[in-house]
């Protein structure tokens, strides 16, 4: 009410324009997502993380943009563990393959596993968590107990069992199933807790009062308003899934030798760590930066979507 024009409203004598005080028409549109986007755009770290994610994505989709060297067919044992030369900026592996080419081509595997794990986690975890939280009662008890069981097996150990048994059919699909098949339980828990809070909101009650069905209320009002922690968790778990794949490959129960993956390459490079550490360090570095990018992205989105955290800064 600080605007002097509207403090004492007097009927206009002539054709003066009436000021409307309740609406500031020129103000920027504002909602949770727009605010978050504006916040993210101001942070340099966001661009760095996004840049890394985009770089790896392009590498995965079009590896030939980055290197002409075939990662597998051009290996010469005479180059075994050689240092970097012109055209081979990262040197050679024990088998005499170009490290740079293998790093570029390995992006595809890591990203594919990451995306598949996130998809599996979302497809199982979101319905489990949302239905348990929203319907409550017996449904909640049953779904939550099932979730507890999956949650209580450390998902890495579960993946070890699955991949050990599936010795003959190791592929991007089986490894994603082995990880995602257990990783969904923590997403379901997080979403359930969020849904429990959201479902007591006035707008949910209003939606039911006007006769909307339960399921439709859940899909139209409750779920969209509970997605913040889901997006954050999924972004971070993409990074975690890439680590899990690399670790399983490192243990020798991940992807077969024929599939190029950063984990496989690091595992193979360990035998010659003393003579040519760079064959181990380069794929490790790219792997770490990729994971870091996804984790930082998740953290920044969490911060941006939380008005309280924005105020705290």
Q: Where are the alpha helices (DSSP H) in the chain?
A: 4-7, 32-41, 44-61, 99-135, 137-151, 155-165, 172-198, 202-209, 214-217, 223-225, 227-251, 262-269, 278-305, 307-312
The smaller minimum CB distance to another protein, of residues 69 and 120, is found at 120
What angle, rounded to 10 degrees, do the helices at 262-269 and 227-251 form?
40
**Contact letters for another protein, residues 238-257 (x by CB under 8 A):** -x---x--xx--xxxx----
CB of 265 to another protein, least distance (A): 12
CB of 306 to another protein, least distance (A): 12
Residue 135 exposed, middle or buried by CB count within 10 Å (0-12, 13-18, 19+): middle
* Using rule CB under 8 A, residue 123 touches another protein: no
**Contact letters for another protein, residues 167-206 (x by CB under 8 A):** xxx-------------------------------------
CB of 302 to another protein, least distance (A): 11
**Whole-number Cα distances in Å, 154 to 127, 173, 175, 179:** 21, 20, 15, 10
Stretch that binds another protein, among 82-90, 102-110, 158-166, 197-205 (CB under 8 A): 158-166
Q: How many Å apart are CA 21 and CA 275, to the nearest integer?
A: 75
Q: How far is CA 27 from the centre of its chain?
A: 33
Interaction site with another protein (CB under 8 A): 145-146, 148-150, 152-154, 156-158, 160-162, 164-169, 239, 243, 246-247, 250-253, 266, 270, 273-274, 277, 280-281, 284, 287-288, 291-292, 295-296, 299, 312-313
């Amino acid at each position: 009410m600080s605007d002097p024009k509207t403090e004492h409203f007097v009927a206009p004598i002539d054709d003066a324009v009436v000021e409307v005080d309740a609406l500031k028409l020129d103000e920027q549109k504002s909602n949770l997502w727009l605010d978050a986007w504006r916040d993210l755009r101001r942070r340099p770290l966001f661009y760095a993380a996004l840049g890394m994610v985009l770089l790896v994505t392009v590498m995965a989709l079009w590896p030939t943009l980055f290197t002409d060297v075939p990662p597998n067919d051009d290996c010469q044992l005479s180059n075994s563990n050689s240092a970097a030369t012109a055209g081979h900026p990262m040197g050679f592996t024990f088998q005499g393959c170009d490290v740079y080419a293998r790093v570029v081509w390995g992006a595809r595997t890591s990203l594919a596993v990451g995306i598949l794990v996130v998809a599996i986690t979302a497809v199982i975890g979101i319905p489990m968590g949302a239905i348990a939280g929203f319907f409550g009662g017996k449904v909640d008890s049953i779904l939550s107990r099932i979730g507890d069981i999956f949650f209580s097996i450390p998902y890495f150990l579960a993946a070890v069992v699955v991949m050990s048994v599936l010795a003959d059919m190791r592929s991007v699909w089986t490894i994603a199933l082995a990880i995602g098949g257990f990783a969904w339980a923590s997403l379901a828990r997080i979403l359930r807790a969020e849904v429990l809070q959201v479902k007591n909101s006035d707008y949910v009650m209003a939606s039911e009062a006007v006769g909307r069905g339960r399921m439709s209320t859940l899909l139209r009002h409750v779920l969209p308003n509970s997605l913040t922690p889901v997006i954050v968790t999924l972004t971070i778990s993409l990074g975690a899934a890439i680590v899990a794949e690399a670790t399983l490959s490192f243990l020798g129960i991940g992807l077969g030798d024929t599939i190029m993956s950063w984990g496989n390459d690091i595992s193979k490079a360990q035998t010659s760590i003393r003579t040519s550490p760079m064959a181990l360090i380069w794929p490790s570095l790219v792997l770490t930066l990729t994971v870091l990018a996804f984790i930082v992205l998740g953290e920044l989105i969490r911060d941006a979507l939380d008005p309280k955290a924005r105020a705290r800064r």
